[in-house]
Amino acid sequence: MNSTIISRLSHEYLPVFEENLRSIVMDSTAATKLVGQMLHYHMGWGDGLKSESGLGKRIRPLLTLLCTEAAGGHWRKAISIAAAVELIHNFSLIHDDIQDKSSLRRGRPTVWSLWGAEQAINAGDALFAHAHLVLQKEHALSPESKLDVLRLLDEACLSLTEGQAADIEFERKNQVDLDMYMNMIEGKTASLIAVSTELGALVSGASLQQRVCYRDFGYALGVAYQVRDDILGVWGRSSTTGKPTGDDLRARKKTLPIILGLERSDELRALYKQAPQNDAEVETVITVLEETGVLEEVTDIEFDKVEIALQKLSSASPKGVAGDALVALVRQLLGRKC
């Protein structure tokens, strides 16, 4: 029943959203020009792609549209805001791939690996500009609301870049504790998901108190979402994640399983001080993590954050089928497979 609700609303919302998103980007950046080609490819509109693997999950705009409806508004009023959120997300992905030297995203070569890092930076910057332009051109928002939306989105973007900077810096640090990690992912991941949910409430005309509840819901969900991504980064299959297996381990990322493992294992600390060797080393790291009980603890942390997210959502008093779909979506994201 829950998956049916999500599927029904996704099939109602997302085709309209995707059409608008594509017109925003491609109307002003012709697909025959270089920047347009890169954006067309990255957004999943090339090669006849229609699947999630090419288009991405569109979780953040779906949250915005669902929160708009659940807070008493109409989801179509939030299309431009949802588009801006997704454009900021994809700007960050293009730059993230460059910084991490990731060769694959969604099972396809990354923009920088095809066009070079310099041109990929241009593509990411173009998406950042498009996000602002779509909001400035939105006639359904009052000037005051437009300024609020732009401020909240830019504050989230600043938190995102600070979180990304911390994530990169962690690779050089010998010791990263749980508090440092949580602060990092609240910026890198949770801030944009939190603004996705709050902006949905804002455009619906919700009270400031209700907006705060939706924002807190998004923060907790964003933390749980990143913890699950960290699990997939170690135990996920390439066919599921769209990235080479063990990429985070080779990059010496300090993800949550690794942080907990480093606290418990001398062997893992010794391995992480060395330069990455080969695939056998990746398997050794995974074995050590499993022997120290890390997977169980990380899964418990994810579950706890999901329960907090559901409590915050309940405090927002979401309405109707969209409210039910938000609860179902949270549960579905918890169960993302390795």
Structural domains of the chain ordered from first start: 2-334 (1.10.600.10)
d(CA 309, CA 223): 9
For 132-187, how does the pLDDT look when each residue is reduced to its tens digit (9 = 90+)?
A: 999 999 988 899 999 999 999 999 999 999 999 999 999 888 889 999 999 999 99
Are the C-beta atoms of residues 77 and 203 closer than 8 Å to each other?
A: yes
Give the angle subtended at the CA of 15 by the CAs of 336 and 213, to the nearest 5°. 55
Task: Reply yes or no on whether the pLDDT at 193 is more than 50.
Answer: yes
Tell me, what's the pLDDT at 274?
Answer: 82
Task: Reply yes or no on whether the pLDDT at 29 is more than 60.
Answer: no
Tell me, what's the pLDDT at 158?
Answer: 97
Q: Percent of the chain, pLDDT > 90? A: 73
- Read off the pLDDT of each residue in 212-224 and give the average, rounded to a whole number: 97
Where are the alpha helices (H) located in the chain, listed in sequence order? 2-28, 34-42, 52-55, 59-70, 79-100, 111-115, 117-136, 143-170, 178-185, 191-203, 208-235, 238-241, 247-250, 256-264, 266-273, 279-291, 294-315, 320-334
Q: What is the mean pLDDT of the chain?
A: 90
For 81-128, how does the pLDDT look when each residue is reduced to its tens digit (9 = 90+)?
A: 999 999 999 999 999 999 999 999 988 999 999 999 999 999 999 999
Q: Give one word for 171, left, alpha or beta, with left for phi > 0 and alpha for psi -120 to 50.
A: alpha
Task: Reply yes or no on whether the pLDDT at 52 is more than 70.
Answer: no
Pair of tokens at residue 330: 């949270």
Task: Reply yes or no on whether the pLDDT at 50 is more than 50.
Answer: no
Measured from the Cβ of residue 21, the count of other Cβ atoms closer than 10 Å reads: 26
Tell me, what's the pLDDT at 14?
Answer: 96
